[in-house]
Amino acid sequence: MKVYTHFYNVGKDSFRWRTLLQCGDSWNIIGTVVMKNPGTAAPKSIVDDSKTLSNLSKFDKSNDDWYEFSADSTMNCVGELLAFYYDKHSSKELNGIIQIFNLFYLKDENLLSALKKDKYSSWCRFGSGQEMLAYDIKNLRMPIYLGFADLAFKKKYRESA
């Protein structure tokens, strides 16, 4: 599984958005997952291959750099979840893109820490949280798995969830 995403640092904080998990060689969307926030996956390198960038540009018209990231355990579980959905033995049998969206995009493996930071974060690549939410909703594709659990009941995230 390859992981492509936009990423950048603001001070001590990191943000990751428009995450795509590529299983196999296809660039067709085979599912979407909405989770809490980006966790432990780490940047490996900036994407500079023209063929890959051409395919990635179909998902996002921004001028933001694309990065290849390592896959974390949650991403691997997402792959297995979609494999189960498609009646496959493992994610290695999938061929396509799984999109990951989040309720917020501050990257931190510790959810409590991320929630505290997000409380004071004014970061948003699209001008406002509502614009980011509208962008995410517009790009949802079936099947969709909602994996944000009880975060949906917190006042700040309820509407987005």
pLDDT tens, position by position, 66-125: 999 999 999 999 999 999 999 999 999 999 999 999 998 889 999 999 898 886 566 666
**Helix ranges, the chain (H):** 50-56, 73-85, 111-120, 129-138, 155-158
The amino acid present at 153, given as its one-letter code, is F
The rounded distance, in Å, linking the Cα atoms of 118 and 120 is 5
Phi-psi region of 11 (alpha: psi -120 to 50; beta: other; left: phi over 0): left
Q: Is residue 138 over pLDDT 90?
A: yes
**Higher pLDDT pick, 39 / 122:** 39
Query: Is 0.85 surpassed by the pTM of this model?
Result: yes
The rounded distance, in Å, linking the Cα atoms of 152 and 32 is 17
